[in-house]
Amino acid sequence: MAYFVVLTLRNFYGATTDAKAQADIEKLNAERDKLRVEASYYRNAQWFSLAQNTIGFAAIVIPIVIAIRQLNAQRTAQQERAKTEFDLLAQRARVDASLKAVEIAMNAPTTGQVRSRAEILSALLQELVPDFGKRLKDLDYSKIGFASYRSRFSTLLEAIASHPNDALLLVEIYNTLFPDDDVNSHGRIKELLQGLRTRK
């Protein structure tokens, strides 16, 4: 009977231990499942938090990058506009200087003075009108009818107006001294001579 009691006690305690062990195993399984759920939650929460932070960062950085690009584009456009305006002003200055140089040179009474003035202006305004004098050297003044005869011819007309009785003599002397002026004036001196001779 003692054997039976020991067996019964063993079964009782074994059954109790098995039930207790089973309860502990279930409890451990429940804790493990709970731990898995929490780990999964924290893992997902980390990804969610990372996604939120990334979106927040992008929401801040993207407008800043766009603003910087727009500012760079505006600065580049302003620099190009300033360069274009500077080039236009430089070109305008060259044109104005060339026109003024032509005006100064062309107001000379003689061909020699025109050429001299052109060389002086070319030397003074080297950067603005560097080849001004060179272009005038190559110009054939006899073909365009510009020569020192204009000032001489004006002086002749003033002398005729002052001394109308000596007009024929003055024109003949003038024609003898300056025979090329008739060609440069397109035959005006011969016409004047013929007109004065027909009056006599």
- Cβ neighbours for 183, distance < 8 A, ≥ 6 positions apart: 142
Q: How many domains does the chain have?
A: 1
Q: Give the range of the structural domain holding residue 157, as residue numbers without chain letter.
A: 143-200
pLDDT, one tens digit per residue, over 115-174 is 777 777 777 767 766 666 666 666 665 555 445 667 777 888 888 888 888 888 888 888
Is the residue at 198 inside a domain? yes
Q: What mean pLDDT, rounded, does the chain reach?
A: 76
Is the residue at 94 inside a domain? no
What per-residue confidence (pLDDT) applies to 80?
Answer: 94
φ/ψ (deg, to 5) at 105: -65, -40
Give the residues of the chain that fall short of pLDDT 70.
1-17, 45, 97-98, 101-102, 104-106, 108-112, 114, 125, 128-149, 200
Closest CA to 147 of 188, 176, 106: 106
Is the residue at 42 inside a domain? no
What per-residue confidence (pLDDT) applies to 59?
Answer: 84
What per-residue confidence (pLDDT) applies to 106?
Answer: 66
pTM: 0.40
What per-residue confidence (pLDDT) applies to 66?
Answer: 92
